[in-house]
Amino acid sequence: MLNGKVILVVGGAAGIGRATAELCAARGAAVVVADIDPAAGQQVATAIGGLFVAVNVTDPASVQAMVAAIEERYGRLDGLIQTAGVLKGAYTPVDEFPLETWRTVLEVNVTGSFLCAKHAVPLLKQSDKGVMILVSSGAAVGGSSSVAYGASKGGVNSLGITLAAKLAPEGIRVNVVMPGNIDTGMKRSVIAAEAEMSGKSLEDAVAASKLGVPEGVAQVLAWLVSDDADYVRGMITTR
Ligand SMILES: NC(=O)c1ccc[n+]([C@@H]2O[C@H](COP(=O)([O-])OP(=O)(O)OC[C@H]3O[C@@H](n4cnc5c(N)ncnc54)[C@H](O)[C@@H]3O)[C@@H](O)[C@H]2O)c1
């Protein structure tokens, strides 16, 4: 259970983040839903009785303001679950890959994770059992549809490993979770691109993808942020 804990789910307006915010709230946590999409984020927060904070993870001032809002409302933070991410440039060959797209993906996925970690750490340090979870992807270790996305998730893995060692003396437990093939808006847009290339119908392409559900990944994340996972300090691959 997560009673008494304050958990921040960045990217909590949709997909894996949304399912995680819902499950953490159902397990008794006070949940902060932070996202760049205010309408969807507020809807999730209202439904679970949590707090919504608008954030753009690429903007340091916005990330700082997110943490300040949590400090003001709760005075503490026990868990950061960073799920915000983008996948752009699927199936674009490297020799045609726009630099702007590369920069956007790296900025959101890697710099965004760094900024969330950087600004959440002062509050996490004050928790008895501070936990940080970065959501990477199986794409980090092969098979990404996008050159930039695969590289960015490799960056998230390395950021997480580095932080796990650096923050252990501070009592903060860090894990990186690498899901794969989950039925969310992000994945559906990749499948749509794939269907267009192969001439398959979207329906057939979705069926062939054998997608997992966001709630399955949420089970892993909600467990990892709990005290039951105290001995887990490494990277976790899920479906
Ligand atoms: N769906 C999959 O198959 C899959 C597989 C592996 C990894 N992942 C990772 O899981 C995480 C969640 O992905 P998802 O599939 O649920 O995607 P999603 O698109 O459904 O949700 C991503 C959320 O991040 C938010 N977001 C995007 N840019 C942001 C920014 N700059 N600042 C703040 N919020 C921002 C979006 O508004 C959205 O609510 C991502 O990091 C993704 O890379 C997903």
* Residue whose entry in the numeric block shows the structure tokens 């749509």: 192
Each residue's pLDDT tens digit, 1-19: 999 999 999 999 999 999 9
Ligand 1 pocket residue status of 57, Cβ below 6 Å: yes
Does residue 189 lie within any of the structural domains?
A: no
Does residue 141 lie within any of the structural domains?
A: yes
Reading phi first (left if > 0) and then psi (alpha if -120 to 50, else beta), residue 196 is in alpha
Q: Specify the pTM.
A: 0.98
Does residue 163 lie within any of the structural domains?
A: yes
Ligand 1 pocket residue status of 177, Cβ below 6 Å: no
CATH number for 28: 3.40.50.720
Does residue 174 lie within any of the structural domains?
A: yes
Does residue 67 lie within any of the structural domains?
A: yes
Ligand 1 pocket residue status of 131, Cβ below 6 Å: no
Does residue 198 lie within any of the structural domains?
A: no
Does residue 207 lie within any of the structural domains?
A: no
Cα–Cα distance for residue pair 14/139, rounded to 1 Å: 20
Residue 137 has pLDDT above 90, yes or no: yes
Active-site annotation, residues: 149
Best mutation site among 33, 115, 186, 188 for ligand 1 pocket (most ligand atoms within 8 Å of CB): 186
Q: What's the pLDDT score for residue 235?
A: 86
Quote the domain boundaries for residue 217: 6-184+213-237
Q: What is the DSSP string of 184-220?
A: SHHHHHHHHHHHHHHT--HHHHHHHH--B-HHHHHHH
Provide mean pLDDT across the span 25-46: 98
Q: What's the pLDDT score for residue 239?
A: 77
Best mutation site among 10, 58, 80, 83 for ligand 1 pocket (most ligand atoms within 8 Å of CB): 83
> How many structural domains does the chain have?
1
